[in-house]
Amino acid sequence: MSNAYTTVIGLEVHVQLATHSKLFCRCSTQFGAEPNTQTCPVCIGMPGTLPVMNRQAYQLALRTAVALNCDIPEFTKWDRKQYYYPDLPKGYQISQYDLPMSDDGFLEIADAKDRFEPKRVRIIRAHLEEDAGKSIHDEAAGKADSEIDLNRTGTPLLEIVSQPDMRSAAEARAYLEEMKLLLTYIGVSDCNMQEGSLRCDANVNLHLDHEGESIATPIVEIKNLNSFRAVERAIEYEAARQYKEWQENSEPPKARQKYLARPKQTRGWDDAAGVTRAQREKEESSDYRYFPDPDLAPVITKGDEVQAVREALPELPAALRERLGEDYGLGTYDADVLVNQGRALVDYYLAVADGSGDPKAACNWVTQDVLRVLKDQESTIDQFGVSAENLAGLVKAIDDGQLPSSRAREAFEVMLADGSAVDAAITKLGIEQVDESALEDLCRELLAANPKIVADVQDGKQQAVGALIGQAKKKNPNADPALVRQICLKLIGEGV
């Protein structure tokens, strides 16, 4: 059934820009405040008030648009989008209609697990608008009223609209993850989905072949997607649902025509039930009667300003992955793991790799041990107990033979516990190189004391020698297990 149709997906992402104050007034945008304590006459739509554009909001929007490879037209303006809803006190949202601040960009996605070919998802436009408030309805309590909180009203949002370029739920998820990573790297948003600073709607339909004719099923917009996982599940559910709906309506031709002519529908994702449900259409909701907001001045952005923004961009995730591959010899998977953890962790890795001169070993330590500890401690790299310099020292000590790899993890734990450098950890653990003749003496002693094991090995049970390794470690913690095993087998072979 998977080749019976192609799933076509476009995503609309709303990202809250990380400003201190709102887009058109100076109320705080801090999340979690008591309801209706962060509002003023401008954002609750009192007559006679004047909105003034937040410079930082425009700058963050511009930085994002440039990072998404968008064109930045010299002239942009804001328009009123009119509709009635209890969380929209002015009766219109200030948004952008025909002259958005940016258009025609792209974001490249790839999958470290190779589930899909790398691709470029085109971006139609990204525009700057204000958020609405929140309505809270306690259905369980069966209350007759909804309560409106206008704290969020007027918070700056960047709406980023993709072309319908994605072909699977996995691609849609990859797009969102790469978008989130990019936005975090350029520092324009905290992208916290729980707090609503990153929101997503998905437009989904199917392309299929019907008796040689190319068919596109009516587009469905899915709302209420509260996590990346929800986006994936909703798309998968919706594709199957639409295919079933198509099968039920494909014949006779009259029913088919009627079905295919159906206008775009909005459905809400019910995460608990795992289904999408048709939402009641807002009356005349498509007629927003946009017109230019006469209270706001347009913004003119010259080419040299755009160029300056472009030059000031930090290294973006895609470029960083490439550098880790080319300059540090890391595979796609490892580079992906590091970059996805954020810039601070990558910087830590780079310091360990550069300091030790062993990028591959540095990668193993960071992606395995460091990430494991961070996960256990629920902390971040800036709070991590082993400095990059010290971890580089540890990697170097192993490479130089100063620290046997069999005891490296112990040394790491000591360094983690007290913040010491590798030399101090080696001293503290009493780690010293055991020279081979001392080790041989130890092995002879053990063999003499364990004739049964010697006999077993002589009978062909080589694994019996394992019991001696534990004993050797007890007598000398610095004894290298691999070496003990090797020497014991050699001595038994020689008939000692």
Partner 1 sequence: MSLTRQDVEKVALLARLQLTDDELATMTDQLAQIVDYVDQLAEVDTDGVEPMAHAVEVANVFAADEVRPSLPREAALANGPRTNGRGYLVPAVLGD
The binding site for Zn ion (CB under 5 A) comprises 25, 27, 40, 42-43
Q: Which stretch binds partner 1 (CB under 8 A): 36-44, 102-110, 168-176, 211-219?
A: 36-44
* Three-state secondary-structure class, residue 5: strand
CA distances from residue 71 to 11, 64, 189, 230, 421 in whole angstroms, order as listed: 19, 11, 21, 31, 50
Tokens found for residue 477: 């913690």
Residue 55 within binding range of partner 1, rule CB under 8 A: yes
- Judged by beta carbon, residue 120 or residue 289, the one nearer partner 1 is 289
Pairing state between β 220-225 and 265-270: parallel
For residue 44, the partner it binds in partner 1, Zn ion, none, with Cβ less than 5 to 8 A by kind, is partner 1
Residue 309 within binding range of partner 1, rule CB under 8 A: no
In whole angstroms, how close is the CB of 40 to Zn ion at the nearest point?
3
For residue 409, the partner it binds in Zn ion, partner 1, none, with Cβ less than 5 to 8 A by kind, is none
Residue 136 within binding range of partner 1, rule CB under 8 A: yes
* Three-state secondary-structure class, residue 336: helix
Burial class (CB in 10 A: 0-12, 13-18, 19+), 174: buried
Question: DSSP letter at 32?
Answer: T
CA distances from residue 40 to 26, 107, 278, 372, 448 in whole angstroms, order as listed: 8, 38, 36, 47, 88
- Judged by beta carbon, residue 40 or residue 124, the one nearer partner 1 is 40
For residue 298, the partner it binds in partner 1, Zn ion, none, with Cβ less than 5 to 8 A by kind, is partner 1
Tell me if 483 sits within 8 A of 439, measured CB to CB: yes
Pairing state between β 291-292 and 299-300: unpaired
How far is the C-alpha of 92 from the C-alpha of 80, rounded, in Å? 6
Residue 77 within binding range of partner 1, rule CB under 8 A: yes
For residue 58, the partner it binds in partner 1, Zn ion, none, with Cβ less than 5 to 8 A by kind, is partner 1
- Judged by beta carbon, residue 154 or residue 404, the one nearer Zn ion is 154
Tell me if 193 sits within 8 A of 16, measured CB to CB: no
In whole angstroms, how close is the CB of 22 to partner 1 at the nearest point?
9
Residue 38 within binding range of partner 1, rule CB under 8 A: yes
How far is the C-alpha of 291 from the C-alpha of 72, rounded, in Å? 21
Residue 57 within binding range of partner 1, rule CB under 8 A: yes
In whole angstroms, how close is the CB of 358 to Zn ion at the nearest point?
55
Residue 56 within binding range of partner 1, rule CB under 8 A: yes
From the list 1, 3, 213, 287, which residue makes contact with partner 1 (rule: CB under 8 A)?
A: 287
The HSE-up count of residue 427 (CA atoms within 13 Å, CB side) is 5
Question: DSSP letter at 28?
Answer: B
Residue 37 within binding range of partner 1, rule CB under 8 A: yes
Residue 280 within binding range of partner 1, rule CB under 8 A: yes
- With residue 201 as reference, give the H or E element that holds it: strand 198-210
How far is the C-alpha of 20 from the C-alpha of 23, rounded, in Å? 10
- Judged by beta carbon, residue 120 or residue 143, the one nearer partner 1 is 143
Q: Which residues pair with 165 in a beta bridge?
A: none
In whole angstroms, how close is the CB of 89 to Zn ion at the nearest point?
11
- Judged by beta carbon, residue 28 or residue 402, the one nearer Zn ion is 28
From the list 4, 71, 75, 441, which residue makes contact with partner 1 (rule: CB under 8 A)?
A: 75
Interaction site with partner 1 (CB under 8 A):
19-21, 26-28, 34-41, 44, 46, 52-58, 75, 77, 82, 84, 86-87, 99, 135-137, 139, 143-150, 223, 268, 279-280, 283-284, 287, 289, 292, 294, 296-300
